[in-house]
């Protein structure tokens, strides 16, 4: 009996481990031992929200651009590999992990593995994010310019009243208004939903952006995103029964109600002014268009808000950078086009540094190496087996599968940072904490869900 159990254990456990350590094609790739043996290593650091830092640490420890982080997975930290992995020939395909980001029965443009499915929808809405349209909407009367002005007005009011301000929440209100107004043609009302309250009351927990609770729940659940899809769906189902409160359901209801109003007022695909109009005009059903609109509201609002708040946090702490940026903004020569703002290199540098510090993509933008493809990086070959390359500092992805709204996000960041610095509203301000603690799930999350400044 004991001998039979031992044989079964050897065949089921010991032999696969031995194979992975000695004979697997990735056996020679450096990396932590547990990662080579089991996917539990990745599941654990993803759940704990430390994946980006841990993987980066192993790259530094082994002094290589390629490390093994799973039985069949590697991490690549080499900017020279971006073209091969994400751009050339349309890039490598996304892996099965992205099924976990489907919108229930609907496959989102982000989660789609089928490139034809995604490309048809992306082509329909891509003109919305053209630089010319973004510049036009950044004017004082445009959907971006108006909300940035409202954001700045509120920030200045908090400064004048010397009220401690959660800039993360204020940035979330701005971002959801910008993306809803610009993309969907109807503003959510984040910056105005608590306008009836006094300034001090607006900084209480009850006056935070009404969509926050639902957004935080979705961001937090991405800690399970590496799990096989059947297990992910089971956990999601169980979590809804156990941890989803009536409050979260109510907040989700607020988003659904808003999107319902947006869809109700569309022209049935007869115009091309909005995201949903363009999808309907391309033949997408009303039900899918509704879900895709909910997805863009979440995707366009959350990450941009976290990055903007991170940038403002560091500018508050860095008086020298703020002074240089103010000088460059005011010294920039005017342009012939009223809608075209002058390009300010240091402004772009500050925004990109904020994206780095805020870890816009702390996770891995996983791709599968095609069968027979020989990708060699830093002397290490990733031939024929699936692998999951990681590229840090690609804030919006790269190639044909890059973030659709990256131009909108960058425009909002550049416009808002420039307006805030030019107003000098951060003069005399200080941050309540010395540092921001980033939780590294698929999207960056801020521990405690607040970033406070005070004057």
Determine the Cα–Cα distance for residues 375 and 97; give it in Å rounded to an integer.
Answer: 21
Look at residue 24 and tell me whether its pLDDT is greater than 70.
Answer: yes
Q: Which helix (H) or strand (E) holds 326?
A: helix 319-331
Please say whether the dihedral angle defined by the alpha carbons of residues 316, 194, 414 and 142, taken in this order, is positive or negative: negative
Reported pTM: 0.90
Question: What single DSSP character describes residue 50?
Answer: B
Look at residue 385 and tell me whether its pLDDT is greater than 50.
Answer: no
* Mean of pLDDT values over 88-116: 88
Contact between 117 and 124 under an 8 Å Cβ cutoff? The reply is no
* Mean of pLDDT values over 315-328: 96
410 pLDDT tier (thresholds 50, 70, 90): very high
The residues, any chain, with a CB within 8 Å of residue 39's CB and separated by 6 or more, are 70, 71, 73, 226
* First-last CA distance in the chain: 74
Q: Which helix (H) or strand (E) holds 74?
A: strand 73-76
Fold of domain 94-454: Cytochrome p450 (1.10.630)
Cα–Cα distances (Å) from 272 to 49, 124, 126, 266, in that order, read 40, 9, 11, 10
Look at residue 279 and tell me whether its pLDDT is greater than 90.
Answer: yes
pLDDT computed for residue 85 by the predictor: 86
DSSP 3-state of 72: coil
Domains of the chain, residue spans: 1-77, 94-454
Residue with tokens 């107004």: 181
Calculate what percentage of the chain has a pLDDT beyond 70: 89
CA 341-347-350 angle, 5° bins = 155
Q: In the numeric block, which tokens belong to residue 102?
A: 């489907």
Determine the Cα–Cα distance for residues 363 and 442; give it in Å rounded to an integer.
Answer: 5
Taking the CA atoms of residue 238, residue 243, residue 244 and residue 245 in that order, the dihedral angle to the nearest 10 degrees is: 150
* Mean of pLDDT values over 342-346: 90
For 162-220, what is each residue's pLDDT tens digit?
Answer: 999 999 999 999 999 999 999 999 999 999 999 888 988 888 888 899 888 878 888 88
Beta bridge partners of residue 75, listed in sequence order: 67
For 121-169, what is each residue's pLDDT tens digit?
Answer: 999 999 999 998 999 888 888 899 999 999 999 999 999 999 999 999 9
Of the given ranges (146-160, 246-260, 431-445), which has the lowest mean pLDDT? 246-260
Cβ atoms within 10 A of the Cβ of 85, count? 24
Look at residue 350 and tell me whether its pLDDT is greater than 90.
Answer: yes
* Mean of pLDDT values over 290-294: 90
384 pLDDT tier (thresholds 50, 70, 90): very low
Determine the Cα–Cα distance for residues 396 and 91; give it in Å rounded to an integer.
Answer: 15
């Amino acid at each position: 009996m004991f001998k039979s159990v031992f044989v079964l254990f050897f065949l089921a456990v010991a032999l696969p481990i031995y194979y992975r350590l000695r004979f697997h094609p990735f056996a020679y790739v450096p990396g932590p031992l547990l990662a080579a043996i089991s996917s539990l290593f990745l599941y654990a650091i993803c759940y704990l929200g430390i994946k980006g830092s841990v993987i980066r640490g192993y790259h530094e420890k082994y002094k290589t651009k390629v490390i093994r982080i799973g039985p069949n997975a590697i991490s690549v930290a080499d900017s020279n590999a971006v073209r091969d992995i994400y751009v050339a020939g349309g890039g490598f395909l996304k892996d099965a992990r992205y099924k976990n980001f489907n919108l229930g029965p609907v496959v989102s443009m982000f989660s789609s593995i089928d490139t034809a499915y995604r490309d048809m929808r992306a082509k329909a809405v891509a003109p919305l994010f053209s630089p010319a349209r973004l510049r036009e909407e950044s004017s004082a009367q445009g959907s971006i310019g108006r909300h940035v002005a409202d954001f700045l007005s509120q920030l200045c009011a908090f400064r004048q009243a010397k009220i401690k301000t959660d800039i993360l929440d204020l940035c979330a209100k701005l971002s959801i208004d910008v993306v809803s107004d610009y993309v969907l043609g109807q503003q959510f009302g984040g910056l105005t939903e608590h306008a009836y309250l006094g300034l001090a009351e607006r900084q209480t927990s009850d006056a935070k952006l009404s969509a926050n609770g639902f957004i935080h729940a979705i961001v937090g659940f991405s800690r399970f995103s590496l799990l096989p899809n059947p297990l992910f769906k089971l956990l999601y189902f169980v979590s809804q029964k156990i941890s989803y409160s009536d409050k979260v359901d109510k907040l989700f209801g607020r988003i659904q109600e808003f999107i319902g109003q947006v869809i109700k007022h569309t022209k049935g695909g007869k115009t091309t002014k909005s995201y949903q109009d363009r999808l309907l005009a391309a033949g997408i059903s009303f039900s899918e268009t509704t879900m895709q609109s909910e997805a863009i509201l979440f995707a366009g609002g959350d990450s941009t808000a976290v990055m903007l708040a991170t940038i403002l946090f560091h500018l508050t702490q860095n008086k020298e950078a703020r002074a240089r940026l103010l000088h460059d903004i005011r010294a920039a020569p005017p342009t012939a086009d009223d809608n075209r703002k002058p390009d300010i290199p240091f402004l772009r540098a500050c925004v990109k540094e904020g994206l780095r510090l805020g870890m816009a993509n702390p996770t891995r933008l996983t791709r599968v190496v095609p069968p027979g493809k020989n990708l060699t990086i830093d002397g290490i070959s990733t031939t024929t087996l699936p692998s999951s390359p990681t590229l840090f500092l690609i804030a919006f992805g790269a190639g044909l599968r890059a973030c659709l709204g990256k131009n909108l996000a960058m425009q909002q960041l550049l416009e808002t940072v420039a307006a805030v610095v030019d107003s000098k509203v951060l003069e005399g301000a200080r941050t309540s904490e010395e540092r921001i603690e980033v939780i590294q799930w698929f999207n960056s999350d801020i521990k405690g869900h607040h970033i406070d400044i005070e004057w």
